[in-house]
A = this chain, B = another copy of it.
């Protein structure tokens, strides 16, 4: 079976200075347990690629205030005031990227595609310095594929091979991130026998997943809360 790890043991696969792909849209579909372990670890100087930096004091927001982050790359940080503050003080680098460009660039990173031309952002500040190409009369900008050293993602269930399924809109960036890092650690609520998922049901086939850890949070009132 796919190697199941204690959350603490998963930390051996992450090094200071690594680029991490972290799943989630706000807090939904975020690997909260793995993030807590990172907060308590000695890793620092991390670059995080994630749509947001969680919320203030929650999810990736914790990692930020713990001083573990060198840089964040994503689409929307405005609502986390800690992120705005850290950036203003020069304590955090931020690279903004349109949400769809981010999703596509990560998919390309996993797909052996070096880069692509998108319409999104052409003619805007975010296109400054980027190569332009006119294709069939429309202007596109070049975006390079994104890869990570380690992806930490959140799924609903894994089977013993490592196949993953996701919970409703908690899917978000997790499946593409699972394809685009050297090491992929999936945090799940439950591990079931191989063969429990119909072949049509699998969203992330097991070949993308290296390690599985069990989520230590419990869901109450429709949101994950710490179990202790």
3 tightest A-B CB contacts, nearest first: A114-B135, A114-B117, A114-B140
Contact between B108 and A116 (Cβ–Cβ < 8 Å)? Answer: yes
* Residue A118 at the chain B interface, CB threshold 8 Å: yes
Copies in the complex: 2
Tell whether A138 pairs with B111 under 8 Å between CB atoms, given A165-B200, A168-B199, A200-B201: no
CB within 8 Å of B: which A192-217 residues: 199-201, 203
Please provide the chain A residues from 101 to 146 with a CB less than 8 Å away from any CB of chain B in the complex: 104, 108, 111-120, 133, 135-136, 138, 140, 144-145
| Minimum Cβ distance to chain B for residue A191 (Å) | 19
Please, how many angstroms separate the alpha-carbon atoms of A113 and B116 in the complex? 7
Contact with B along A89-107 (1 / 0, CB 8 A): 0000000000000001000
With A112-B118, A114-B136 known, 12 other A-B pairs at CB within 8 A are A104-B111, A108-B116, A112-B119, A112-B120, A113-B117, A113-B118, A114-B116, A114-B118, A114-B135, A115-B140, A135-B145, A200-B203
**In the complex, which residues of chain B have a beta carbon less than 8 angstroms from the beta carbon of A135?**
114-115, 144-145
Show 5 residue pairs from A and B whose CB-CB distance is below 8 angstroms, ordered by the A residue: A112-B119, A115-B116, A115-B133, A115-B140, A116-B117
- Across the interface, name the chain B residue whose C-beta is closest to A113: B116
Tell me if A119 and B111 are in contact (CB < 8 A). no
